[in-house]
Structure formats: C-alpha cells, structure tokens
Amino acid sequence: MNADSLPLAGHTVVELGSSVAAPYATWILGMLGADVIKIENPDAGDDARRWGRMFPDGSASHFVALNGNKKSVTINLKDERERAWLEDTCAGADAVIQNMRPGKVAQHGLDGVSLVARSPALVYCNLGAFGAVGPNKDKPGYDPLMQASAGIMALTGEPDRPPVRVGVSIIDMGTGLWCAIGILSALYQRKETGRGCIIDASLYETAVAWTANQSMMVQADGNNPPKEGSGARGMAPYQAYRCADGWLVVSAPNDRLFERLSKALGHPEWPYDEHFASNQKRYANLVNLNGLLVPIFEAKSRDHWMALLDEAGVPSAPVREIDEMLVDPQTQALGILQEMAGGGINLMGLPLSFDGKRPPQRSGPPALGQHNDLKVTS
C-alpha cells in the first residue's frame, strides 16, 4: 500500500494539540494518509516531548509513539504574521483538531465558529476535558482524573484495595479515537452537503461512555458493581489463575466451555454439581469453584495448561509483560510493529488492514519546528 492509495491521501489536517488525546487522533488520520501539520509552541513544543523514557537521541517515548507521519511547525501566537499564517492554514485545511485550554483558541481567532464561518467546508473538532457545557466545562483534566470521576477506578483492581488506574491511557486514546471517527464521519457527510461542521468531544464523555455495561447494572438493581480483579461481573470461570510459573487467564463462562474445562482438568462431574450447573450458579458459588480450580492450576506450568486447554477448545491467554508481547510470534506475524524510517525503532502500526495491507509508516516523528519552511514557502 503506497501513500497515494491511502484512504485520506490528499487531505490536510491541522493539529493544535499536545499530550496524548489530540495527537492520537491525528496519528490515526496520518496513518490513513492525511497530511498532518502539527502546530507547536517554539519554546518547548508538545509536553509529550518530555514524557516517558528517553531514547539516545533525546526523543521521548510518549512523543515518538504518537507523532509519526506529521510535520512540526512552531508558531508564536503573539506574532501577528505567524498567527495570520496559522489562520490561513487552518481555513484552507480539511480538518482542524484542538485541545488547547478553554478560551485560548477563541482569543486568537482560531476557534471553530470563526474558522468555519470563514471556510464553511472545514471540519473542526474541539477536544476538551469535561465537555462543551455543564459546570465543569472550563476545568482542565487528564486521563486519571476522568477514570476517577467517571467511576472507572471504582471498578478496577482487587476488592478492598486502593483505587487503581487502568495501565494504558484508555481515556486519552479513546477520546482521540472518537475524534478520528467524528472527523471521518463529517468528511464523509461533506461529500453530500459540501459543508463541514464543529465536533465536540471530551475526556469525561469518553470515560462515562466506557461504563455503559456497569451503568445499566446500576439502573437494573440500584447496586454499584464491585471490583472484580481480573474477572468480570456475572461470568465464571473468567479470570486469571496462578500457575507454577506465571499467570493464565481462563475463559469458560458458558455451559459448553465449562464442560470442556472440567473434562480437561479431570473432573467431568463438575457440570452436574447443582452449585455449578449454570453460569449464574457458578458465579454465585465462585469462591467454592475457585477453591477447586486454584490448586489445580498452581500445580503445573502455564505452558502445560495452555496446551491442554487449547486441545480442549477452552480459550486461555498468558499474562505477559510488554517485552514478551513484542516478540510473540502472533505479534510478529501480524506485522503491526513497523520499522521507523531511519531504522532502530519499531513503531506501532495502525490496527487495521485494507485488502490485506496495513498502512505504512511514511515518516518518523518530527523534530521541533522541522517543517518551519512551510511558513516561508506559503
């Protein structure tokens, strides 16, 4: 798949953003072929340039992960000529996404209302913390604040333990994904109407939306769902079990799979026990069920149980570290890790393929202001 055949080839997107959420949205669009112009302040650039672990060349892991296929242009918003160039560039783009602090884009004439009025075909996406309306609309926010305020931390981890943040930036990256979906939808609609629109998304809305199942549980019986550790409410057995040399997640939450699991473990009588005869009964008697399963799994290696369960047709997966995942044969076979232009680093590819081909990495993350010549040439 070459650059010209990518779905968004020929489209220009301007990113007025930093950190994770907005850069992740434009990373998606850039991987799909859009020409992404990343606007940064000339003093320090994106905060993510200093986040995570550092490579020998001084680049930061967080920035490298989410900023490939982009051009970096530094803009001093106090400089009239540079601000005018940015206004013109935004107005001439297909889409703009911004996650600047509330009020800042309007202060400089870069808000959606102003730019869409000037260029009605523009798709403009606001990415905020708590949303466009409501008592918290002007408050700043970050991923862990949203996991806390939306109830996700109350669902995560082991019972009677302190609050736990989900290990990946699920709210930031999820919001970036929603923004990309919104922008793509608006671009598709523009083909019919000729007009763009203003999109609003926020970290808090994403966090709230991720609790769809749990919110329904509360509305069903008025009770907050408890922390389930590695398990899931109402499903059993469906959790991680310690083996002799590591952890294995076993998923047998229906009668057919539980029968297979029972036979594989040498206990074909379990499904006929009145306490384990259905998923509902197994979950209600999970303490007793785990009292049987835990010592069995602890007795032998993870690979032993994986091979046995694979043969029995019972889904299972090892709990791996990131370095194990990177070299796993399945990861390698998919080709989702793509060598960065210039070599030395494998960047994460887009988790999509088109006609069996994954969009390529066209360029690595840019140096701060690497493409400032765009201001001169225009």
Among 370, 374, 375, 349, residue whose Cα is nearest residue 49:
370
Report the alpha-carbon distance of residue 274 to residue 290 in Å, rounded. Answer: 16
Report the alpha-carbon distance of residue 310 to residue 132 in Å, rounded. Answer: 49
Helix (H) or strand (E) holding 66: helix 61-66
Among 293, 292, 294, 316, residue whose Cα is nearest residue 304:
316
User: Would residue 147 be called left, alpha or beta, if left means φ above 0 and alpha means ψ between -120 and 50 degrees?
Assistant: alpha
Report the alpha-carbon distance of residue 111 to residue 116 in Å, rounded. Answer: 8
The one-letter amino acid code at 269 reads E
Q: How many CB atoms lie within 10 A of CB 102?
A: 15
**Active-site annotation, residues:** 172
357: CB partners within 8 A, 6+ apart: 1
- Between the two ends of the chain, the Cα-to-Cα distance in Å is 30
Please count the CA atoms within 13 angstroms of the CA of 6 that sit on its side-chain side. Answer: 23
Report the alpha-carbon distance of residue 251 to residue 239 in Å, rounded. Answer: 7
Reduced DSSP (H G I as helix, E B as strand, rest coil) percent helix, strand, coil of the chain, to 5: 40, 15, 45
For the four alpha carbons of 107, 110, 112 and 113, in that order, the dihedral sign comes to: positive
